[in-house]
Chains A and B, each alone.
Chain A
Amino acid sequence: MSTAPQTTFEPKTATGRITNFVDERVGGSGMLREFGRKVFPDHWSFMFGEVALYTFVILLLSGTFLTFFFDPSMAETHYNGSYVPLKGVEMSVAYSSSLDISFEIRGGLFMRQVHHWSALLFVAAVSVHMLRVFFTGAFRKPRELNWVVGGVLLILSMAAGFTGYSLPDDLLSGNGLRIIDGVVKSIPIVGTYISFFLFGGEFPGTVIIGRLYMMHIMLVPALILLMIAIHLFMVVIHKHTQYPGPGRNDRNVVGYPLGPVYAAKAGGFFFIVFGIIAFVAATFTINPIWNYGPYDPSPVSAGTQPDWYIGWVDGALRLMPGWFFNIPMEWHIRFPWGVNTLSFNVLGPALIPAGIVFTALFLYPWIERWVTRDNREHHVLDRPRNVPTRTAIGVSGFIFYCVMWAAASSDLIATHFQVSLNDVTYWLRALFFIGPVLGFIVTKRVALALQRKDREIALHGRETGRIVRLPHGEFQEIHAQLDDYKRYKLVGYESPVAEEGIPNENGIVTKKENLRAKLSGFFFEDRVAPATPSELEAGHHHEAIEASDDDKAIKH
């Protein structure tokens, strides 16, 4: 054994002594050196991912509190708590303990509301964060895998929400489970078996709440934590993306150092998110389970709604017609051993739209990379208007989702706006197909128009609102030229042109390459190129001539 290395470093301050202590044991100084002043770009739209992370932390905190009092048993009991209207009513222990959390535990109702509101906000924040990443092109190389992790997190967040929604065993959540049971039973061959295994026999059985509870407090959160760890690890490896602007490019990262500014802002933001959720939980009731009563397969209240993030799947179920004119959407298929039933009216809407959305979501980075042949690393984001086709695709998918989501409230739309429920459904069925197409066209035009507006401003400056009258009577508005920094923000983007098919080494343009060329045309054909210095020069010249014509009375 060699002798222990002598510490030559003599700490002089308290901070120094602590740092020294830690460093000699776990070597934290190198890490602090790496991260303590790490630069993070700042933009309001980067906040959504933070909201998602913080709501998850709040969910863990409030959820842990709730587990101390919640009992997931489906054993029958008679309510004997302080909520008078339900006294003596037969119900499950799970529902009874949920009522006790609300009525007997001081702050229990508050924690339930914090938990539920955070859950709603969590899925919303994940979704909006995904939209931000999509529309700014942050999923491009090298971040494709992190985009996939984000997609998995979105699915997990919905799973966490749904398993939790069912736990109180009230009338509303029980009906939700009944719908799940109906959907599971529509799965060919194994559906009935899965239903019986899931519920431990026939619906509703006596085990489902306990099983969902395990998934809700252990399996799903553990997976979410794992995915968050991977997600943030990759963010550190890649460093954060930044919006385009003067001084920012793919080789640098411009922003505030982690300590103190960024850490203070991000850390302070956690408290703001918590404070806002606490405020909402204090003032807006969510899921008043005592109004619904215990689960009973017979009653149901009109206008029932799932939590918002399940709405799109429920809406798809509503939109699907059982009969397409005179053709039933449930098929009886003859096999040698007898007749089997395929309930496409349930299975189709439950699987196909969600299948399309998630397949497209997971594959999109690779599809775009193949079409654009853009294999470079990107750290500077796109302004959505500067990639009109991608933005249009995103809006198109968003509308596809929103039509289904709206359909989950078709009955409420009908009653609130005093229109026929059937008409609402017919319109939404039409919009399901037309909406995404219209959204695509309109978005692309809007994006191109915004690009032209940018060109206009880059070349001719901003309208000042000052109208002057020239000596010969003409009125003109004075335009203020932009400074170089502002102009660069408007012109500093790439606008690739559509590509012809590229022949392979045998000089043949393959069918696949032909398809790629066509898609490249679809992607890049309509384009507005960024303004160039020579155009700006020509513009100045042009205006100078105009000015000289005007007897140089007005100087621009």
Chain B
Amino acid sequence: MGNHSDGTPTSSDAVAKAGHDEVDKFQDPGLPPHRLRLADTDPKAAKRAEHQVAWLFIISIVGTLIFFVGYFGVRLDDTLDTLRLQNTFLGIGVAFAMLGIGTGIVHWARALMPDHEVAEERHELRSEEDRLAAIQIIDDIVDETGIKRRPLIRNTLIGAVALAPLPAIAIFRDLGPLPGNALRHTLWKEGERLSRDPDGTPIRAADVTIGSAFHVIPESLNKLEHGKLNEKAKAVVLLMRLNPEDLNPSEGREDWAYNGIVAYSKICTHVGCPVALYEQQTHHLLCPCHQSTFDLTQECKVIFGPAVRPLPQLPITVDAEGYLVAQSDFHEPVGPSFWERG
């Protein structure tokens, strides 16, 4: 036996040379002879197939009945259990109703309808004559418009058509307001109390034990009449207390924390998911959407994942009653980057 396994086009007899394979090629033997099915030759088998198809259709009828049993028979009583039960009845009913019809028809087609494969010639997609005629027609049309001979018409038309769609773009201007400074400000301001998300009760510094974490909103958020979600989407903050010696504040930020209590924006600087996972042991914050990881001990510097910038820190202190308050708004825009951010 010849070894064809490592033949190259030139070195092996396994491969036909160019021009050689024109003659030395297997000829198409044509369609294989038709093979009769059992149902074609044996009337009993045909009868059996007929019964099978009928049974499948009967299963479909039963399926439809199951649907109605579920629809009218199952009483919903405000629990998920009855809802699931009804859903199962409806679904299984429809499934049987549909599968019965589908498999019945397919079985009918496969077992009983003629299964002779037939060959049909493909038509020529195009004829030379048609194409010439088409080209001629286009030429005639272009010629009759005279657009080539009258550049004035052509150029003004191009100008008009180029400008005409502009209103269709401009008319969408009022889809929304211009950004302005909206992304640079949040609800936080000097003296704004930090309060628990979602009920809005203020947080006393003494209640924050080492190792604990709070989901925080500005106290005034819940009093807003409109746009609460918009403000919340920017203002949410994570509050954590570490040993003060674990924090390594940079110059100018030494007094942004209070007794080891720090507050950072909860909005990921990557694409804006809430950075909701706090690992107490490692002091890491993890964003569950794209796994950006921020290190609390390095002012929330990014140590892993797709984010680039650290989470913005909210400078905090306590007011006269011992409640945690913001010293000011964030010193930089929170959330994902944008072109004008600078």
Interface residue? A487 (CB, 8 A): yes
Closest Cβ neighbor of A270 among chain B residues: B102
Interface size on B, residues (CB 8 A): 107
Report if A198-B290 is in contact (Cβ < 8 Å); known contacts: A179-B271, A185-B336, A186-B336.
Answer: no
Q: What 0/1 pattern do residues 99 to 115 of B give for CB contact below 8 A with A? A: 11111111011100111
Q: What 0/1 pattern do residues 114 to 134 of B give for CB contact below 8 A with A? A: 110111111001000000000
Report whether B273 and A533 are in contact in the complex, using a CB–CB cutoff of 8 Å: no
Q: Could you tell me the distance between the alpha carbons of A272 and B96 in the complex, rounded to whole angstroms?
A: 9
Report whether A377 and B125 are in contact in the complex, using a CB–CB cutoff of 8 Å: yes
Q: Could you tell me the distance between the alpha carbons of A110 and B234 in the complex, rounded to whole angstroms?
A: 37
Report if A110-B109 is in contact (Cβ < 8 Å); known contacts: A269-B102, A304-B289.
Answer: no
A356 to chain B, nearest CB (A): 19
Interface residue? B276 (CB, 8 A): yes
List B79-103 residues whose CB lies under 8 Å from chain A: 83, 86-92, 94-103
Report whether B291 and A421 are in contact in the complex, using a CB–CB cutoff of 8 Å: yes
Report whether B106 and A265 are in contact in the complex, using a CB–CB cutoff of 8 Å: yes
Q: Could you tell me the distance between the alpha carbons of A178 and B90 in the complex, rounded to whole angstroms?
A: 35
Q: What 0/1 pattern do residues 23 to 64 of B give for CB contact below 8 A with A? A: 011101111100000000000000000000000000000000
Report whether A257 and B118 are in contact in the complex, using a CB–CB cutoff of 8 Å: yes
Interface residue? A330 (CB, 8 A): yes
Q: Which residues of chain B have C-beta atoms less than 8 A from A328's C-beta?
A: 308
List A278-331 residues whose CB lies under 8 Å from chain B: 278-279, 281-283, 295-304, 314, 317-323, 328-330
Q: Which residues of chain B have C-beta atoms less than 8 A from A193's C-beta?
A: 178-179
Q: Could you tell me the distance between the alpha carbons of A532 and B91 in the complex, rounded to whole angstroms?
A: 56
Q: Could you tell me the distance between the alpha carbons of A192 and B180 in the complex, rounded to whole angstroms?
A: 10
Report if A491-B5 is in contact (Cβ < 8 Å); known contacts: A110-B90, A298-B266.
Answer: no
Q: Could you tell me the distance between the alpha carbons of A239 and B124 in the complex, rounded to whole angstroms?
A: 11
Q: Could you tell me the distance between the alpha carbons of A339 and B337 in the complex, rounded to whole angstroms?
A: 13
Interface residue? A383 (CB, 8 A): no
Report whether B230 and A205 are in contact in the complex, using a CB–CB cutoff of 8 Å: yes
B17 to chain A, nearest CB (A): 9
Report whether A252 and B179 are in contact in the complex, using a CB–CB cutoff of 8 Å: no
Q: Could you tell me the distance between the alpha carbons of A530 and B22 in the complex, rounded to whole angstroms?
A: 12
Report whether A275 and B91 are in contact in the complex, using a CB–CB cutoff of 8 Å: no
Report if A252-B270 is in contact (Cβ < 8 Å); known contacts: A275-B94, A342-B339.
Answer: no
Q: Could you tell me the distance between the alpha carbons of A204 and B230 in the complex, rounded to whole angstroms?
A: 6
Report whether A281 and B91 are in contact in the complex, using a CB–CB cutoff of 8 Å: yes
- A selection of 13 A-B contacts at a CB cut-off of 8 Å is A103-B78, A175-B274, A239-B122, A261-B113, A261-B115, A283-B91, A340-B341, A341-B339, A341-B341, A346-B270, A532-B21, A532-B24, A532-B26
Q: Which residues of chain B have C-beta atoms less than 8 A from A271's C-beta?
A: 98-99, 101-102, 105
Interface residue? B7 (CB, 8 A): yes
Binding-face segment, B149-157, B248-256, B298-306, B317-325: B298-306
Most buried by B among A198, A487, A531: A531
Report if A247-B119 is in contact (Cβ < 8 Å); known contacts: A204-B233, A298-B198.
Answer: yes
Interface residue? B69 (CB, 8 A): no
Report whether B183 and A300 are in contact in the complex, using a CB–CB cutoff of 8 Å: no
Interface residue? A189 (CB, 8 A): yes
Q: Which residues of chain B have C-beta atoms less than 8 A from A471's C-beta?
A: none
Q: Which residues of chain A have C-beta atoms less than 8 A from B28's C-beta?
A: 246-247, 249, 488, 492
Report whether A39 and B292 are in contact in the complex, using a CB–CB cutoff of 8 Å: no
Report if A302-B176 is in contact (Cβ < 8 Å); known contacts: A185-B338, A261-B113, A542-B1.
Answer: no
Specify which of A303, A343, A410, A492 is in contact with B336 (CB 8 Å cutoff). A343
Report whether B338 and A107 are in contact in the complex, using a CB–CB cutoff of 8 Å: no
Q: Which residues of chain B have C-beta atoms less than 8 A from A318's C-beta?
A: 290-291, 305-306
Report whether A534 and B24 are in contact in the complex, using a CB–CB cutoff of 8 Å: yes
List A340-373 residues whose CB lies under 8 Å from chain B: 340-343, 345-346, 349
Interface residue? B4 (CB, 8 A): yes
Binding-face segment, B8-16, B158-166, B202-210: B8-16
Interface residue? B65 (CB, 8 A): no
Q: Which residues of chain B have C-beta atoms less than 8 A from A303's C-beta?
A: 288
B16 to chain A, nearest CB (A): 5
Report whether B266 and A279 are in contact in the complex, using a CB–CB cutoff of 8 Å: no
Q: Could you tell me the distance between the alpha carbons of A303 and B28 in the complex, rounded to whole angstroms?
A: 57
Closest Cβ neighbor of B60 among chain A residues: A271
Specify which of B18, B30, B182, B290 is in contact with A202 (CB 8 Å cutoff). B182
Q: A-contacting residues of B (Cβ < 8 Å)?
A: 1-2, 4-5, 7, 9, 13-16, 18, 21, 24-26, 28-32, 71, 76, 78, 83, 86-92, 94-106, 108-110, 113-115, 117-122, 125, 172-173, 175-179, 182-183, 197-198, 215, 217, 227, 229-230, 232-234, 236, 266-268, 270-274, 276-277, 288-292, 302, 304-309, 335-342
Interface residue? A188 (CB, 8 A): yes
Interface residue? A267 (CB, 8 A): yes
Knowing that A260-B113, A425-B304 touch, tell me 16 more A-B residue pairs with CB under 8 angstroms.
A179-B272, A196-B178, A239-B122, A247-B32, A251-B121, A260-B109, A265-B109, A279-B99, A318-B306, A322-B292, A322-B307, A345-B306, A422-B304, A452-B4, A529-B15, A530-B21
Q: Which residues of chain B have C-beta atoms less than 8 A from A532's C-beta?
A: 16, 21, 24-26
Report whether B103 and A272 are in contact in the complex, using a CB–CB cutoff of 8 Å: yes
Report whether A264 and B109 are in contact in the complex, using a CB–CB cutoff of 8 Å: yes
Specify which of B21, B175, B268 is in contact with A200 (CB 8 Å cutoff). B175
Most buried by A among B71, B101, B117, B342: B117
Q: Which residues of chain B have C-beta atoms less than 8 A from A341's C-beta?
A: 337-342
Report whether A497 and B18 are in contact in the complex, using a CB–CB cutoff of 8 Å: yes
Q: Could you tell me the distance between the alpha carbons of A427 and B49 in the complex, rounded to whole angstroms?
A: 55
Report whether B92 and A279 are in contact in the complex, using a CB–CB cutoff of 8 Å: yes
Report whether A268 and B109 are in contact in the complex, using a CB–CB cutoff of 8 Å: yes
Q: Which residues of chain B have C-beta atoms less than 8 A from A539's C-beta?
A: 1-2
Q: Could you tell me the distance between the alpha carbons of A250 and B13 in the complex, rounded to whole angstroms?
A: 29
Report if A323-B308 is in contact (Cβ < 8 Å); known contacts: A197-B175, A203-B233, A204-B230.
Answer: yes
Report whether B121 and A252 are in contact in the complex, using a CB–CB cutoff of 8 Å: yes
List A185-219 residues whose CB lies under 8 Å from chain B: 185-193, 195-205
Report whether A529 and B16 are in contact in the complex, using a CB–CB cutoff of 8 Å: yes
Q: Could you tell me the distance between the alpha carbons of A196 and B125 in the complex, rounded to whole angstroms?
A: 50
B198 to chain A, nearest CB (A): 7
